[in-house]
């Protein structure tokens, strides 16, 4: 792999930038692999990378029906945090956040992690009490959390309107939380996996599964049949459709989750604000855009766009908190397909079909879980048993009734 450095940047600049090599190859699929990962988003690429780096399994293919990062990995609002309520969730997401903190150096690719803090607002005494319990729960799980008064919030975010339709009474903050550039995370994992020998095959849609003796033996694709003894599904909103082709029924509801950005402005917001009561969250990107997210649309959809009512409601909510933003033009709007489970907790690990593994059900939490998801899934595939951090996330929890209801910790309504 051609390493990126200041010296290489200067050297290539003097040579007219003609010596840069492609970040990853464009290989032709081989007849078979040891492991096939379906889905070329962050989770799929991270799984392939950790399989190669930590477990020495390099005969791996990542199959992506479109282009790398063209799905949810490139359509999110880039938030990284670990302030989840239940111990199992907090432990997993904090593992992922710790991996994020060292990821730029590990991948030799700047993911632009900015740990500016994630601030959750409380608009009533009841919500403030819930925030206190939430903050204490995360502290007991070893995750940083701090209660703030309304005066503290005003000092931290001078532009906020505390006397909005739903007055801000306080909140709590995880200062290690922040944002990172979603494209950089995807490209960094793709480049590093490629350097370890992983084949990244784009425009290769998986249309079915090959089985033999009750276990998977390969996949049928738009580029032919590819053999593999171990197959990982990491396809987000398409999980239920793909799982059905393997004879599995997974409790996934797919909806559109909208986001939007304004025209760029000078630095105006140096933290991330989340309000569950008004269903909106807002931050400012490295390009200066105000990034806005809100609730999922209230109907099932596989479209990468959202409905006008949610867009209007989200903008109105943000303008309640930041009236000065009303002067800005909305520049872009889009949606991702979020895969939501009944308990708003992911499904990870083995399936009833031998050799088939699943990683889905992230809802709004997929991006922040990319390093942790890839790391634990690689370990699960390599050893054919759930990684200790994901033992509570198995598909069989729905049979046992052992749900982990993280609906409130999602930040916005589902």
Alpha-carbon separation of residue 129 from 40, 149, 265 (angstroms): 41, 12, 36
Cα 39 from Cα 15, distance rounded (Å): 37
- The whole-number pLDDT of residue 35 equals 98
Mean of the pLDDT values across residues 187-203? 97
The proportion of the chain whose per-residue pLDDT surpasses 70, expressed as a percent, equals 98
pLDDT band at 101 (very low <50, low <70, confident <90, very high): very high
- The whole-number pLDDT of residue 320 equals 93
Three-state DSSP at 83 gives coil
DSSP string for residues in 343-395: TS--EEEE-SSBTEEEEE--TT-TGGGHHHHHHHHHHHHHHTS--GGGGGG-T
CA-closest candidate to residue 297, choices 334, 348, 330: 334
- The whole-number pLDDT of residue 158 equals 96
Which of 10-19, 124-133, 352-361 shows the lowest per-residue confidence on average (mean pLDDT)?
A: 10-19
Mean of the pLDDT values across residues 147-168? 95
pLDDT digits over 368-378, tens only?
999 999 999 99
For 225, phi then psi, to 5°, come to: -85, 135
- The whole-number pLDDT of residue 412 equals 55
pLDDT digits over 268-307, tens only?
999 999 998 888 899 999 999 999 998 888 888 888 777 8
Q: Is the pLDDT of residue 413 over 80?
A: no
- The whole-number pLDDT of residue 310 equals 87
Cα 165 from Cα 233, distance rounded (Å): 44
- The whole-number pLDDT of residue 406 equals 84
Q: Which domains does the chain have, with CATH numbers?
A: 6-78+182-250+343-410 (3.50.50.60), 113-178+254-340 (3.30.9.10)
Q: Is the pLDDT of residue 105 over 50?
A: yes
Beta strands in 64-198 (DSSP E): 79-80, 118-122, 146-149, 170-174, 178-179
- The whole-number pLDDT of residue 171 equals 97
- The whole-number pLDDT of residue 341 equals 92
Q: Is the pLDDT of residue 233 over 60?
A: yes
For 412, phi then psi, to 5°, come to: -135, 170
Q: Is the pLDDT of residue 414 over 50?
A: no
- The whole-number pLDDT of residue 75 equals 87
Cα 185 from Cα 43, distance rounded (Å): 10
- The whole-number pLDDT of residue 337 equals 87
Q: Are strands 79-80 and 178-179 parallel, antiparallel or unpaired?
A: antiparallel
Answer yes or no: are the C-beta atoms of 348 and 376 closer than 8 Å.
Answer: yes
Cα 197 from Cα 67, distance rounded (Å): 19
- The whole-number pLDDT of residue 309 equals 87
């Amino acid at each position: 792999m051609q390493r990126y450095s200041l010296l290489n940047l200067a050297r290539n600049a003097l040579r007219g930038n003609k010596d840069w090599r492609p970040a990853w190859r464009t290989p032709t699929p081989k007849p078979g692999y040891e492991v096939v990962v379906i889905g070329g988003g962050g989770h799929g690429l991270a799984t392939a990378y950790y399989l190669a780096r930590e477990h020495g399994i390099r005969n791996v293919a990542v199959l992506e029906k479109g282009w790398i990062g063209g799905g949810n990995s490139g359509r999110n609002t880039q938030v990284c945090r670990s302030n989840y309520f239940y111990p199992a969730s907090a432990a997993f997401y904090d593992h992922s956040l710790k991996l994020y903190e060292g990821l730029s150096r590990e991948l030799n690719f700047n993911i632009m992690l900015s740990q500016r803090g994630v601030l959750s607002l409380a608009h009533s005494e009841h919500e403030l009490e819930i925030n206190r319990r939430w903050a204490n729960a995360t502290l007991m799980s070893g995750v940083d959390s701090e209660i703030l008064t309304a005066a503290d919030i005003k000092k931290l975010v001078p532009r906020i309107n505390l006397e909005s339709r739903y007055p801000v009474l306080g909140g709590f903050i995880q200062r290690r939380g922040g944002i990172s550039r979603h494209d950089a995370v995807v490209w960094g994992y793709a480049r590093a996996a490629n350097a370890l020998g992983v084949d990244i095959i784009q425009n290769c849609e998986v249309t079915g599964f090959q089985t033999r003796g009750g276990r998977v033996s390969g996949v049928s694709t738009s580029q032919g049949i590819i053999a593999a003894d171990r197959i990982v599904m990491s396809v987000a909103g398409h999980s239920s459709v793909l799982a059905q082709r393997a004879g599995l029924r997974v409790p996934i509801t797919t909806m559109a989750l909208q986001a939007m950005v304004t025209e760029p402005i000078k630095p105006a917001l140096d933290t991330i604000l989340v309000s569950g009561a008004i269903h909106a969250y807002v931050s400012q990107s490295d390009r200066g855009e105000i990034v806005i997210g809100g609730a999922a649309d209230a109907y099932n959809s596989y479209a990468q766009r959202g409905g006008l009512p949610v867009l209007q409601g989200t903008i109105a909510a943000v303008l309640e908190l930041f009236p000065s933003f009303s002067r800005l033009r909305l520049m872009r709007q889009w949606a991702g397909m979020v895969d939501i489970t009944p308990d708003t907790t992911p499904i990870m690990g083995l399936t009833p079909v031998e050799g088939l593994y699943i990683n889905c059900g992230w809802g709004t939490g997929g991006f922040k879980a990319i390093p942790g998801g890839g790391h634990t899934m690689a370990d699960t595939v390599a050893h054919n048993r759930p990684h200790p951090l994901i033992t509570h996330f198995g598909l069989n929890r729905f049979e046992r009734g052992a749900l982990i209801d993280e609906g409130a910790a999602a930040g916005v309504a589902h």
